[in-house]
């Protein structure tokens, strides 16, 4: 569905947010299997499309540098925790193995 009469900036925003819903030809594909009724599914698709357009036209607040830093710190902490858990699991797996000649 080519969007005619829509601002160019809105088209770029749509591509950034809903790029996976775009076909190779540039059509926006909205699907719904919420009900068994075709009419209700079409209405649900139109609601989704309307919500996408409202979301794209809404002004995004400028990101707070302090909030960005907190998010970065949380991400780093989660990554460190993942590595620790991975190492613990690796030790558990290694302990399950039978001893080798080098271990004796």
Phi, psi of 74 (to 5 degrees): -65, -40
Tokens of 72: 């970065």
In this prediction the pTM is: 0.46
Domain range for 29: 8-57
* Statement to judge: residues 40 and 78 lie in one domain: no
Q: Is the confidence at residue 62, as pLDDT, over 90?
A: no
Please indicate, yes or no, if residue 70 is contained in any of the structural domains: yes
Q: What percent of the chain has pLDDT over 90?
A: 47
The mean of the pLDDT values for the chain is 83
User: C-alpha angle 20/22/24, rounded to 5°?
Assistant: 115
Q: Is the confidence at residue 89, as pLDDT, over 80?
A: yes
In this prediction, residue 71 carries a pLDDT of 95
* Statement to judge: residues 12 and 52 lie in one domain: yes
Whole-angstrom distance, CA of residue 91 vs CA of residue 40: 54
What domain count does the chain have? Answer: 2
């Amino acid at each position: 569905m080519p969007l005619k009469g829509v601002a160019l900036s809105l088209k770029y925003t749509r591509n950034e947010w809903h790029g996976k819903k775009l076909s190779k030809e540039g059509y926006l594909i909205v699907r719904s299997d919420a009900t068994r009724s075709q009419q209700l599914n079409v209405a649900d698709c139109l609601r989704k499309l309307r919500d996408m357009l409202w979301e794209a036209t809404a002004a995004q607040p400028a990101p707070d540098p302090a909030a960005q830093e907190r998010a970065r710190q949380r991400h780093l902490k989660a990554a460190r925790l993942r590595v620790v858990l991975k190492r613990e699991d690796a030790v558990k797996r290694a302990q399950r193995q039978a001893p080798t000649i080098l271990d004796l």
